[in-house]
Amino acid sequence: MDQMLERLAGNEYYCFLDGFFGYLQIPIDPRDQEKTMFTCPYGTFAYRRMPFGLWNAPGTFQRCMLAIFHDMVEKMMEVFMDDFSVFGNSFE
């Protein structure tokens, strides 16, 4: 976190974004969906998309975001959990 804040310091422009429902954009392999099963009065269900509360969800989401934005991270963008910080000294 300290390293991220150091990279943000000294830039003229900042934009902070929340990856709202970002975890739900990541599909769960059909072979692993049974691991997310739960039962309620309406039946037994399993997630097909990664919910927020899974133990490895934050790490999985961060790895996906780093793979997508690898050329921008640490230069003009930071990813922390499901939050994004974009920074720079110009709009270009």
Q: Is the pLDDT of residue 69 over 70?
A: yes
pLDDT at 1: 63
- Total tally of structural domains belonging to the chain: 1
- What pTM does this model have? 0.74
Question: For residue 41, what are the domain limits?
Answer: 2-88
pLDDT at 24: 92
pLDDT at 41: 98
The alpha-carbon radius of gyration of the chain (Å, integer) is: 17
Which residue spans within 1-92 are E strands per DSSP?
13-18, 38-40, 43-45, 77-80, 83-88
